[in-house]
Amino acid sequence: MIRRKIPFDQITTRGGDEGLSTLYNGERRPKDDLVFQVLGDLDELNSFLGWVKAEGKGLFFKDELESLQLNLFRIGAEVATPPTDPRFHALDLLTDQDITVLETVEKRVLESIEVPKRFVLPGGCALSARLDICRTICRRAERSLVALIRSRGLQELAPCQRYLNRMSDYLYVLARWADQYSIPNAGV
């Protein structure tokens, strides 16, 4: 296997040493700007979904998890690109169709399980616990995105917020599936 060496200064740029970071269009903002809070929440969610995917051998929803991860990248691109920048409309923007696809896969899983009629104590199995962690991070990402949309009047990001809302529902349903049907060697 040939490994491509990446120069140190491409990873460690020192560009953030002054407490600033860069948006897609090159604009510099403080690292504690709400935009970077949203991007951090999305990144954390994507990483935890990767953990579920990596340890979930034999799961029927591995492809759906990867689709969620790719859509989180799309959401991140929308958040990191001001709508006033011409590049915003060149992005692969999330649409209502993406939300419909997510609702369809959620309904398919929901039909195969019994949903508890009370609050669920996370930790029925290792897989459901990881999915519940993903669900709670997704809810946090949605809250931070709502704060960004409201504080900056970024209604263009509303489909992303709705997608995150549906994603947390889907992750809840998957966690309940895992509680009921966890399979041996599925990272549990």
Domains and CATH numbers, the chain: 31-181 (1.20.1200.10)
For residue 137, the model assigns a pLDDT of 98
Predicted local confidence at residue 149, as pLDDT: 98
Containing 28, the helix (H) or strand (E) segment is strand 28-30
* Residue 183's pLDDT band (cuts 50, 70, 90): low
Is it the case that residue 186 has pLDDT exceeding 50?
Answer: no
151 HSE (CA, 13 A, CB side)? 10
pLDDT value of position 51: 96
The pLDDT tens digits of the residues spanning 50-99 come to 999 998 778 889 999 999 999 999 999 999 999 999 999 999 999 999 99
56/114 Cα distance (integer angstroms):
21
What is the pLDDT of the chain when averaged over all its residues? 91
User: b vs e for 2-22, b when ≥16 Cβ sit within 10 Å of the residue's Cβ?
Assistant: eeeeeeeeeeeeeeeeeeebe
Rounded to an integer, what distance in angstroms lies between the CA atom of residue 23 and that of residue 44?
18
**Percent of the chain scored above 90 by pLDDT?**
70
